[in-house]
Chains A and B, each alone.
Chain A
Amino acid sequence: MSEAPHDWALIFRAQFGSILAALMMHTRDISLAEDAIQESFLQAAERWPVSGLPDNPGAWLFTVAKRRLFDLLRKSAVRHRSENNEAIYTSLHDQNLCPEEEYAIPEERLRLIFTCCHPALSENVRVALTLKTLCGLSIKEIARAFFSSSAAIEQRLTRAKQKIRKAGIAYEVPEGDALVARLPSVLSVIYLIYNESYSAYEGQALTRDDFALEAIRLARVLYHLLPHSQVGGLLALLLLHDSRRCARVSSRQSFIPLQAQDRSLWDQALILEGGEILNRAIAEGAPDPYKIQAAISALHCEAVTWEETHWAQIELLYTSLYKLEPSPVVLLNQAVVVANSGRAALAFERLQGLAGPLERYQPFYAARADIAHTLGLYSQASSDYLRAIKLTKNSVEITYLESQRAKLESFLT
């Protein structure tokens, strides 16, 4: 057969979340449902090389997984003599839906998303659980992304599932005010997964496309199921940001800052889609940090050249963002915009006020180094690049910062 196992891994991952959600109609035990899916993947790996890829791989996997779940539930019912499990087992036989309809039940998918992202779970647990149950990533992949051991991630997931089962976390989509209150913890998980694709780490390429794509897929699913303006804002932000992914890294895997990017490489389809979703989100709801950041990203995307960027508008948007999210990082980004619009001295002055709160923050030193360079403060620039390099783990970024620092050498001697 022509399909390579690698493609199947992608199919498995793409199907995992919706199959799990559909199985959760019959059990509230995530681990048990995951075991059943694992079995369906194993069977597929045995059968598909011989039989070829089925017309609807998702439905095939779901049918096998559901049958396996029957078995597991029956065994557990026999073991525990639980009437509840017996009832579930009986109900499984009453289902006459065709698999395609059955595993595409949106309400179940949403329930699973809201359960995995419950605010009573800590953020790192929410992220790991979402990557495992909704994105279908393996424990090994998650461990690698977090610089952690598989055993540690496994333990984190086990504990999370135990908490969901025992702490009374409802398996339902909250309604009304409760939905609005719970939404941020869902959106922050998706945003963190996306940022994971950027986050620096040792000896790796700068962008981790997998995480970016998973986050966008999840944001799309969520927006499709729950077209709330806050979800739209996040999806727009991810799409607009991602439109520049190809231009951000050169073929030699070195980092290219916005200023130097080849704008013809930006993905216009994503920019168009992101812009439309953003406009709808702005029309339908109050400003929130995701929408404002998406608007900033959209202004960058619209600019034909770096020089033509609407810096004044971007500066104002950062002021609005700071009102909603009073963090020194927002002020840092605003100061960089001030410098880009030709007011480097003012920007440098503002940065001095942020030196305390951002003492351990790598982008602070990288930004101040660039601005000091512009102002001819070469020894300041040099020492800031060194601080930034010391705080960076990503080899691609280190190479970039070192090349920036090398440009200063003729001035320093």
Chain B
Amino acid sequence: MQFLALIYSVENSDDVDMPTLMAQYEAFSEEAGAAGVLAGGNALEPVSTATSIKVRNGSSNYTDGPFAETKEQLGGYYMLECANLDEALTWASKIPTARYGTIEVRPVMDFED
């Protein structure tokens, strides 16, 4: 079976400094990788980079920000490889649930930047 572990926290509320935290994440990845349980994973850019998209009556509505409705639940995810946000939003608008739910689009963190 595969399981998705979603990492939730208040942004910038880390309990240790950044290098320590990175080292701890590396240690976790190594341990989980060695045990053969790690199938993938990524950090995301901060929530301020989020764009949410809904498709209603065939037209796309964008919201500048994260998905904030608490009644709806996370039901899955796709990792999209796109040249830019427009392309990602175009693909996101084709996800069937965009018609009745919301798709939040966020870039995977680029540690080089």
Identify the closest chain A residue to B61 (Cβ): A119
- A159 within 8 Å of B (CB atoms): yes
Q: Is the CB of A168 within 8 A of B88?
A: yes
Identify the closest chain B residue to A165 (Cβ): B113
In chain B, positions 75-107 with a C-beta closer than 8 Å to chain A are 82-86, 88-89, 106-107
- B98: min CB distance to chain A, Å: 15
- B45 within 8 Å of A (CB atoms): yes
Q: Is the CB of B48 within 8 A of A159?
A: yes
Q: Is the CB of A170 within 8 A of B84?
A: yes
Chain A residues with CB under 8 Å of B50's CB are: 167
- A128 within 8 Å of B (CB atoms): no
- A6 within 8 Å of B (CB atoms): no
Partner of B65, one of A118, A122, A165, A174: A122
Given contacts A167-B51, A167-B107, contact A174 B86 (CB under 8 A): yes
Q: Is the CB of B49 within 8 A of A167?
A: yes
Q: Is the CB of B85 within 8 A of A120?
A: yes
Chain B residues with CB under 8 Å of A119's CB are: 62
Chain B residues with CB under 8 Å of A159's CB are: 48
Q: Is the CB of B84 within 8 A of A169?
A: yes
Tally B residues with Cβ within 8 Å of A: 21
The DSSP consensus for interface residues of chain A is loop
Which of A125, A159, A163, A168 neighbours the largest number of chain B CB atoms within 10 Å of its CB?
A: A168
Partner of A122, one of B64, B84, B107: B64
Report the tally of A-B residue pairs with Cβ distances under 8 A: 49
User: How far is A223 from B40 in the complex, measured between Cα atoms in Å?
Assistant: 48
- A166 within 8 Å of B (CB atoms): yes
User: How far is A166 from B109 in the complex, measured between Cα atoms in Å?
Assistant: 9
Q: Is the CB of A163 within 8 A of B107?
A: no
Chain B residues with CB under 8 Å of A125's CB are: 64
Q: Is the CB of B82 within 8 A of A168?
A: yes
Identify the closest chain A residue to B107 (Cβ): A168
Chain A residues with CB under 8 Å of B63's CB are: 122
- A403 within 8 Å of B (CB atoms): no
Identify the closest chain A residue to B49 (Cβ): A167
Partner of A170, one of B45, B46, B83, B113: B83
Chain A residues with CB under 8 Å of B82's CB are: 168
Chain B residues with CB under 8 Å of A61's CB are: none
Chain B residues with CB under 8 Å of A172's CB are: 84
Q: Is the CB of A121 within 8 A of B113?
A: no
Q: Is the CB of B64 within 8 A of A169?
A: no
Q: Is the CB of A178 within 8 A of B49?
A: no
Partner of A121, one of B46, B64, B83: B64
In chain A, positions 148-168 with a C-beta closer than 8 Å to chain B are 159, 162-163, 165-168
Identify the closest chain B residue to A163 (Cβ): B49
Tally A residues with Cβ within 8 Å of B: 19
Q: Is the CB of A120 within 8 A of B62?
A: yes
User: How far is A159 from B64 in the complex, measured between Cα atoms in Å?
Assistant: 11
Which of B62, B64, B88, B113 neighbours the largest number of chain A CB atoms within 10 Å of its CB?
A: B64
Chain B residues with CB under 8 Å of A165's CB are: 113
A109-126 to B contact mask, C-beta < 8 Å, 1/0:
000000000111110010
Partner of A120, one of B45, B46, B64: B64
B40-84 to A contact mask, C-beta < 8 Å, 1/0:
000001101111000000000011110000000000000000111
- A76: min CB distance to chain B, Å: 13
Chain A residues with CB under 8 Å of B51's CB are: 120, 167
Partner of B49, one of A118, A162, A182: A162
Q: Is the CB of A168 within 8 A of B84?
A: yes
User: How far is A174 from B84 in the complex, measured between Cα atoms in Å?
Assistant: 11
Q: Is the CB of A163 within 8 A of B48?
A: yes
- B109: min CB distance to chain A, Å: 9
- B56: min CB distance to chain A, Å: 15
User: How far is A162 from B47 in the complex, measured between Cα atoms in Å?
Assistant: 11
Residues of A whose CB lies within 8 Å of any CB of B are 118-122, 125, 159, 162-163, 165-170, 172, 174, 178, 182
User: What would be 20 A-B contacts, judged by CB atoms less than 8 Å apart?
Assistant: A119-B62, A120-B51, A120-B64, A120-B89, A125-B64, A159-B48, A166-B49, A166-B110, A167-B45, A167-B49, A167-B51, A167-B85, A167-B106, A168-B85, A169-B85, A169-B86, A170-B83, A170-B85, A174-B86, A178-B86
Interface contacts beyond A167-B49, A167-B51, A168-B107: sample of 7 additional A-B pairs, CB < 8 Å, sorted by A? A122-B63, A122-B65, A163-B48, A168-B82, A168-B85, A169-B86, A170-B83
A-B pairs, 10 with minimum CB distance: A170-B84, A122-B64, A167-B49, A120-B51, A168-B85, A166-B49, A119-B62, A166-B45, A169-B85, A168-B84
